[in-house]
Amino acid sequence: MFKHEKQLFHPVAVEGPNPQYAVLLQEQLGGGNGELKAAMQYMSQSFRIKDPEIKDLFMDIAAEELSHMEMVAQTINLLNGHDVNAEAVDAGEIQSHVILGLNPGLINASGYSWTGDYVTVTGDLCADLLSNIASEQRAKVVYEYLYRQIDDKKVKETIDFLLNREEAHNAMFREAFNKVQDTGSNRDFGTTEAARLYFDMSTPSPAGTDFPNVDVKPPSFNM
């Protein structure tokens, strides 16, 4: 069950309209590393998780990502604060004028529609957690790029908040991974002697390169 609270997760505001930047911010609404992708990924992964604590973690973060999506959409809406007029906009803004009527849409900064192909679900908790850690890290990178490309202090406050929440999610997923790292794909398939080999394909090799053997455990399979 979901319940919509009309109060935003964190208040958003802008110092003034900036439709050009609104196009850039669309990346975090409907892009491959955006908020909708994160919400759908974590929610989809949660369906088969047996550990109730980790299942709740995935659903809680998914719900928060939906609230982040609402914040991003409202910021885009404020940045688009002008009348629909396709003749008065740059090429990059045409999509929002002629298709969306300035409504924030499920598209990325290039105008491509959001797709379920962005979502990674393997059914293996270790693999999914590592994927989520990487997803949060990529989202942070995009927000950092966006932060550096605008002078609007109020928009930067929103992005700063979202950046910190992405880091919080990253830490939560890392903690969950530490709890289950000896399960699933990390347990079912061990390592052989081949895992100790390093093939030096670079010529000339960096001076002083050293790859010591790693102490690995033999394969362990459930019968």
Pick out the residues of the known binding site.
Answer: 35, 56, 60, 65, 68, 136, 169, 202
Buried b (16+ CB within 10 A) or exposed e, 48-60: ebeeeebbebbbe
- Annotated binding-site ranges for Ca(2+): 56, 60, 202
Smallest Cα–Cα separation from 135: which of 65, 55, 73?
A: 65
Q: Which amino acid is at 104?
A: P
How many CB atoms sit inside 10 A of residue 184's CB? 17
Q: Angle of helix 35-46 relative to helix 125-147, nearest 10 degrees?
A: 170
* Contact by Cβ (8 Å): 101, 85: no
How many CB atoms sit inside 10 A of residue 110's CB? 11
Task: Provide φ and ψ at 191, rounded to 5°.
Answer: -115, 150
- Annotated binding-site ranges for Mn(2+): 35, 65, 68, 136, 169
Rounded CA-CA distance 101/33 in Å is 24
